[in-house]
Chains A and B, each alone.
Chain A
């Protein structure tokens, strides 16, 4: 693992992975979109508007999954002080926040015609909104401090505290009476979605995860570059040159 603590080594590896990841991401999205619009049947109860789940469910899943990777990165950063872990966490947060916003927005758009309301303060919706606040808090804390190390440590602690929200999101629909329906896919007795509707959903789940990998690698490379510039500037300033 520490072999890739060297940013140059990491950049090399990322450049090797990226073309493949991009190719797979685009293929998965194209295949998914084709299945959604040309192959999958309507839902019997809701008709065509059930198709919004192909955007909503992968976004909601990716929002939680991204937070989990953010927490793992923060843990590694705090305990082993791995230099790339901080960078990975910082790179992952905006992607996760974007997934969360997408899940909340598509959920609201689906909720109005289906439930009769855009928003209700039930356990699932509220806990996902809190997830968004954790992402925003993490990003804000990073920017609130000048010192990279200090900012990274504070944000990582915040990210770890937010982990408690993940089981709450997952089980909110089982623990409490809620407006949001219980899990359809990841449940003990198997999915509750008919196979012809489930296949496109899985393709989209994979597509979102691949998208995450691509954007994460891009953002990490960007962050490494930004850090390099920052360090060069500091060296130049300490040498008394004007920059």
Chain B
């Protein structure tokens, strides 16, 4: 009797473990095979150029606000800045209120459309916070952020990754 009980438990252990592994494997495969880019909240400038997105199509563009690129246009209402992934830059125009954390060297996610000249006209700008927390004055954000892109709060992208993508493109 006790032997029978043990084999039944062993059987259940196998069934449950196999089913669990199969479900996890299946979901992760679906995520990576079918989901892929679809789960990305935004495109980085290099990806925008690669995908050759047509003017007028709405999408989110994310990256770092390039150092010394931020200015206000003559109309006094429109902001202009470059969004960069340290390889490609895209010029962005935005009319509206910028979030508190918006600054050069900081991550940003903008939503809008490319116009015919390749200018990205954004109607929404979100600031992206990075993973660093420090007391005031101890960790200044500087223009050299592109030398350490992993510190810009963009864990998913590195300069290296985008450079490799660009090289591959050049080879084709």
The minimal Cβ–Cβ distance linking B3 to chain A, given in whole angstroms, is 16
Chain B contact residues (Cβ within 8 angstroms of A): what range? 35 or more
A78 at the interface (CB under 8 A from B): yes
Number of A-B pairs, beta carbon distance below 8 Å: 134
| Beta-carbon contact of A177 and B9 below 8 Å | no
Residues of B within 8 A of A113 (CB): 99-100
Those of B145-172 within 8 Å (CB) of chain A: 153-157
- Report which of B20, B127, B132 forms a contact with A163, defined as CB distance below 8 A: B20
* A interface size (C-beta, 8 A): 46
- Report which of A115, A161, A175, A181 forms a contact with B39, defined as CB distance below 8 A: A175
Closest partner residue, chain A, to B11 (CB atom): A79
| Beta-carbon contact of A181 and B131 below 8 Å | yes
| Beta-carbon contact of A79 and B9 below 8 Å | yes
Q: Could you tell me the distance between the alpha carbons of A175 and B28 in the complex, rounded to whole angstroms?
A: 12
Those of B105-119 within 8 Å (CB) of chain A: 109
A123 at the interface (CB under 8 A from B): yes
The minimal Cβ–Cβ distance linking A48 to chain B, given in whole angstroms, is 11
Those of B34-83 within 8 Å (CB) of chain A: 39-44, 62
Can you show 7 pairs from A to B with CB atoms below 8 A apart? Answer: A42-B136, A79-B9, A115-B128, A116-B126, A177-B40, A182-B155, A182-B156
Which B positions have Cβ atoms within 8 angstroms of A? 9, 12-13, 16, 19-20, 23-24, 27-28, 31, 39-44, 62, 98-101, 109, 124-139, 141, 153-157
Which A positions have Cβ atoms within 8 angstroms of B? 41-46, 50, 53, 75, 78-80, 113-117, 120-123, 160-161, 163-164, 167-168, 172-179, 181-184, 187, 192-194, 196-198
Additional pairs, 4, CB under 8 Å, beyond known A177-B40, A177-B154: A44-B136, A120-B41, A160-B16, A184-B133
